Amino acid sequence: MTRSSRLLVALAAAVGMACEGRPQSAAVTAKPPRKGPAVAVIDLSGGAPEIEAGGLLGAAPGRRRSFDSLLDALNEASADKDTKAVVVRFGAAHLGMARAEELGAALARVRAKLPVYCHAHGYTNATLMVAAQGCTKTWVSPAGEVEAIGIAAQVVYMHKLLSDELHLDVNFLQVGKFKGAEEPLTRDGPSDEARASLEGTLGDLRGSWLKAISDAKKNPNLALEDGPYGPQAAKAAGLVDFVGYEDETGEFAKKETGAVREVVRFGPGAQDGEDGIGDVLRAIAGPGASAPIVVVRAVGQISMGGGGGLMGDGGGITHARLSRQLARIERDDDIKVVVLRIDSPGGSALASDLMWHQLMRVRAKKKLVVSIGEMAASGGYYLASSADFVFADATSIVGSIGVVGGKIAVGDALERVGVHAETFSADAKNPSARARAAYASPLIAWDEPTKLRVYESMKSVYDLFLARVAEGRKISVEKVAASAEGRIFSGREGKARGLVDELGGLEAAIAKARELAGLPGDAKVDVLTARSRVAELLGGSADDGAESRNPVSAASVVGAEVASWAERGVPGLAAYAGSLHPLIEGEHAVCALPFALTVR
């Protein structure tokens, strides 16, 4: 028997055992149709690198992740007679300006044949240009952001550190007075020639960027360098058409075009054929939880996903993982009640809102009970507010309804050790353009106008937080506001204020779940684990479909080291550091407990 034959026999045996050990339930919702008019989904949440990254076994089959395969997917979609529309999911992806320009043109060609609907959790300068050129309608998540901050570049000069402090001999030669490549090592600031060269190039990029968006929007007066904007402000400024969630964009596309299905043509979930290894893995893994009650754990800091915990251990509550679990639960008709066990100090505001929305989708079809452990603070309470019924112990910590944000600017500190950072603005004649375009940089402090813009964006997240709690709890915004502004409460006080329905632990929550579903006291309960699916073992981590994050930065490395030290020396500080990790990753608004709190 050949090796390939042995592999097929083993795989068939595994499928047989899986089917025998866990039979498919007839009550599970039928698979969506595979024929008929379709919406082609282009999922850019994992980015579109020039070269596709390989997984554990090399490049995983059926996954289309490289830039050239993205362009092929768009061509295939526009040529498919069954495709009625294209939905582009940007997630929180970052694209280079050049690839963004090319992608915008490619989408514009598709748009000439089919409507193109685009959604992003947050638009960068580059993805905003793509959306303007190639999208018929655009959406942004309610807790997202539209940067539109202008274009800038930063160069770090280390000559003083290398020569005066470390006493190194820096020997470089240059041919061409505008070259400037060695100046970061040989000078403490730019030469006139290098400045003129860089500012000229940035000015050209800026002109192309402004023209591409203004022409596409047919509006030369767009405020494209005055961000960052909160979602509603971006809509009012004409930068996006709608504020809403990713799934709402897909539903809009199907309703507008009469499509009956979605076909992922690029990104996580894309397959080269209708059948493939994904179907085999689903057969092995089984249909998921099938008990009438399922307990889902939501423990740790909240983040968008991929890296998980601050130390990269895959821990915490990630949007990528939890939303995938909830989507499976939503489709499983056997499950009548979900018990969400929360123990979290909060974290990413964007992730909290996206998961709140997914929980509300589950609640629309099933009963949802929350059991609060040690705490459900800030983003943790954001999630808890989605439930039909909330339990907490008297000594649980609840509340902290508020938003914190900012950054640590290290520019002045680096100056003291001989490292100088110079910011070059594409709009060199505008004194405030430099600070605005580099607002996310850790190298410069915010000026007052930028502080005001960031505060306005954070205030929009805070108002959204109040509205979400009010909607989930079915109380007025005014009543929520009376217990907001970051205040925390015990479970007992939380009950008195209407943030909690009943005092009790997980067992009480499960008993309530049985009651709400009209189930007997011995009704089966399953606990959904994070890595229960075989498919999650291939191609990387369990958060393989997560939105991409910024490249690893020095701040991320330092933050990870600080958290590691905190875990070893001051365990109570680790959860606090983890909940603020989104700030290190580039977000400027988090819903997190603003201090380390351990009740012993």
Angle at 102 between CA 105 and CA 256, to 5 degrees: 40
313-327 residue pLDDT tens: 346 899 988 998 999
3-state helix, strand, coil in the chain (%, to 5): 40, 20, 40
479-509 residue pLDDT tens: 999 999 888 899 999 999 999 999 999 989 9
Say how far apart CA 409 and CA 249 lie, in whole Å.
37
Say how far apart CA 63 and CA 31 lie, in whole Å.
21
Cβ atoms 346, 591 nearer than 8 A: yes
Is the predicted pLDDT of residue 312 greater than 90, yes or no?
no
Delimit the CATH 3.90.226.10 region(s) of the chain. Answer: 35-150+224-266, 288-405+456-592
pLDDT at 565: 45
Mean pLDDT of 279-290: 44
Is the predicted pLDDT of residue 175 greater than 70, yes or no?
no
506-545 residue pLDDT tens: 989 999 999 999 999 888 888 886 444 433 333 333 343 3
Whole-number average pLDDT of the chain: 80
198-229 residue pLDDT tens: 888 888 889 999 999 999 999 999 999 999 99
Highest mean predicted confidence (pLDDT) among 47-51, 149-153, 388-392 = 388-392
Lowest mean pLDDT among 38-47, 164-173, 297-306: 164-173
pLDDT at 433: 83
Say how far apart CA 583 and CA 322 lie, in whole Å.
21
Mean pLDDT of 267-283: 53
3-class DSSP string for 199-242: HHHHHHHHHHHHHHHHHHHCCCCCCCCCCCECHHHHHHCCCCCE
Cβ atoms 295, 326 nearer than 8 A: no
Cβ atoms 453, 418 nearer than 8 A: no
Instruction: Give exposure, 336-350, as e/b (b: 16+ Cβ within 10 Å).
Output: bbbbbbbbbbbbbbb
Say how far apart CA 468 and CA 480 lie, in whole Å.
10
pLDDT at 358: 96
Query: Angle of helix 277-285 relative to helix 3-21, nearest 10 degrees?
Result: 40
Is the predicted pLDDT of residue 376 greater than 50, yes or no?
yes
Say how far apart CA 593 and CA 403 lie, in whole Å.
9
398 vs 305, more confident: 398
pLDDT at 465: 94
pLDDT at 269: 79
Other beta carbons within 10 angstroms of residue 205's beta carbon come to 17
Sorted by sequence, the CB contacts under 8 Å of residue 85 that are 6+ apart come out as 39, 40, 114, 115, 116, 117, 253, 254, 256, 257, 259
Is the predicted pLDDT of residue 172 greater than 50, yes or no?
yes
Is the predicted pLDDT of residue 463 greater than 60, yes or no?
yes
Question: Amino acid identity, residue 566?
Answer: A
416 vs 585, more confident: 416
Q: How would you classify residue 213: left for phi > 0, otherwise alpha for psi between -120 and 50, otherwise beta?
A: alpha
pLDDT at 35: 86
Mean pLDDT of 39-53: 83
Other beta carbons within 10 angstroms of residue 178's beta carbon come to 13
Mean pLDDT of 148-157: 88
Is the predicted pLDDT of residue 473 greater than 50, yes or no?
yes
Q: Pairing state of beta strands 152-157 and 420-425?
A: antiparallel
Sorted by sequence, the CB contacts under 8 Å of residue 75 that are 6+ apart come out as none
Q: Is the pTM of this model over 0.85?
A: no
pLDDT grade for 406, boundaries at 50, 70 and 90: confident
Question: Amino acid identity, residue 240?
Answer: V
- Going by the DSSP 8-state scheme, the letter that residue 64 receives in this structure is B
Tokens of 37: 């008019």
pLDDT at 176: 59
Residue 329 C-beta-side C-alpha neighbours within 13 Å: 33
Q: How would you classify residue 180: left for phi > 0, otherwise alpha for psi between -120 and 50, otherwise beta?
A: left
Is the predicted pLDDT of residue 354 greater than 90, yes or no?
yes
Say how far apart CA 315 and CA 543 lie, in whole Å.
11
Is the predicted pLDDT of residue 23 greater than 70, yes or no?
no
Mean pLDDT of 29-46: 84
Lowest mean pLDDT among 5-19, 333-347, 438-452, 508-522: 5-19
pLDDT at 522: 86
Strand order in the sheet with 346-348: 317-318, 302-303, 346-348, 590-592
pLDDT grade for 113, boundaries at 50, 70 and 90: very high
Say how far apart CA 179 and CA 121 lie, in whole Å.
39
Cβ atoms 87, 42 nearer than 8 A: yes
Percent of the chain with pLDDT over 90: 43
Mean pLDDT of 94-114: 91
Cβ atoms 48, 90 nearer than 8 A: no
pLDDT at 578: 62
pLDDT at 7: 38
Which residues share a beta bridge with 122?
A: 145
Q: Helix or strand or coil: residue 279? A: helix
Is the predicted pLDDT of residue 292 greater than 70, yes or no?
yes
Site of tokens 């290398």: 162
Is the predicted pLDDT of residue 248 greater than 90, yes or no?
yes
CATH number for region 35-150+224-266: 3.90.226.10
568-589 residue pLDDT tens: 445 555 555 665 677 766 676 7
Q: Which CATH number fits domain 288-405+456-592: 3.30.465.10, 3.40.1360.10, 3.90.226.10, 3.30.300.30?
A: 3.90.226.10
Other beta carbons within 10 angstroms of residue 199's beta carbon come to 18
CA distances to 155, 173, 176, 195, 413 from 185, in Å: 11, 11, 17, 16, 19
At residue 297, what are phi and psi to the nearest 5 degrees? -90, 135
Lowest mean pLDDT among 14-28, 83-97, 127-141, 371-385: 14-28
Is the predicted pLDDT of residue 17 greater than 60, yes or no?
no
Say how far apart CA 235 and CA 142 lie, in whole Å.
11
417-430 residue pLDDT tens: 888 888 888 888 88
Q: Pairing state of beta strands 137-146 and 242-243?
A: parallel
Percent of the chain with pLDDT over 70: 74
